[in-house]
Amino acid sequence: MSTAPLLCEGRVVIVTGAGRGLGRAHALAYAAEGARVVVNDLGVGLDGTPGPGSPARQVAEEIRAAGGEAVAHGGDIATTEGAASLVRTALETYGRLDTLVNNAGFLRDRMLVNLDEDDWDAVMRVHLKGHFLPLRHAAAHWRAEARAGRTPRARVVNTSSGAGLLGSVGQGNYSAAKAGIIGLTLVAAAEMGRYGVQVNAIAPAARTRMTEDAFAGTMAAPDSPGAFDAMAPENVSPLVVWLGSDACAGVTGRVFEAEGGRITVMEGWRPGPSADKGAHRSPSEAGDTALKLLAAAEVPGAVYGAQ
């Protein structure tokens, strides 16, 4: 009886924020498909402050106990040294790097009028800068490999959110950071394709420490044994593993929404109704034209939490 080959056999994968929730599920799923995994987690609380223990080490031990290969990394990937150390750990431990999954993040939710500068900066730092710096260091390695004649089949999976696609009341900082991650994904895909790097993003919906308060009462696990738990983080990981494998050749610069058993290709900003007068308009004329175009345009999705 033949056994199907593992999807990520021989690949080396970095997963940031992999100590809990979605990141942990991704790390375990990659290991189950034959990948050697660098498990990164700073071990902080929901607000970004340090917490006890080492969740990265625990997940790495869990992978090894199941017969896989993994190494823990506890550096701060929102710093240049931490991000460089992360990539260096993969190269020094396993001799290569094939996939980067940017997943780390936390929340500091406030309504805009109560959102202070520290809350804004902290969320931007971890989510947006915490995506940029590991991507930058990984991309530099892959570019050097390509220029040396060893073009990689590299993959990057970034983590956005429905909040980045539609906005979310009380999460101005988080929504802006997650929208920025989509822009970063599109640019990286365009710039790095020539070096053998594919870059995509996911907007997951799952039950994690970050979402349990926001979706309280709607994300409980099913009571009956064996029932499908639509909000389990493990439901998102299969798509993330596929996007980080050779199997997704040719797929780049795309955003996928993943929730339960549903996968959606998200279609972002593109031209809708348009009118060109070919001459200068007065403000009143511009307003009349805008209203006519809006009447013919699709209604945007509702912002999460809007009344």
Can 175 be counted among the known catalytic residues? no
DSSP letter at 232 equals -
Parallel, antiparallel, or unpaired for β 255-259 and 262-266? antiparallel
Determine the Cα angle at 20 with ends 18 and 25, to 5°. Answer: 70
Which residue, 158, 5, 31, 137, is CA-closest to 82?
Answer: 137
Q: For residue 72, give the H/E element and its range.
A: strand 69-73
d(Cα 45, Cα 39) in Å, to the nearest integer?
17
Taking CA atoms, 129 is separated from 67, 74, 235, in Å, by 34, 17, 27
Instruction: State the Cα torsion 257-262-265-267 to the nearest 10°.
Output: -70
Can 178 be counted among the known catalytic residues? yes
d(Cα 126, Cα 103) in Å, to the nearest integer?
10
* All residues at 6 or more sequence positions from 12 whose CB lies less than 8 Å from its CB, including other chains: 35, 36, 37, 38, 90, 94, 95, 96, 97, 98, 99
Active-site position among 85, 129, 168, 174: 174
Can 161 be counted among the known catalytic residues? yes
Which residue, 208, 174, 203, is CA-closest to 17?
Answer: 208
Q: How many CB atoms lie within 10 A of CB 5?
A: 9
Active-site position among 85, 178, 237, 304: 178
Active-site position among 160, 161, 175, 237: 161
User: Taken in order 134, 43, 232, 106, is the CA torsion positive or negative?
Assistant: negative
Query: Which residues does the annotation mark as catalytic?
Result: 161, 174, 178
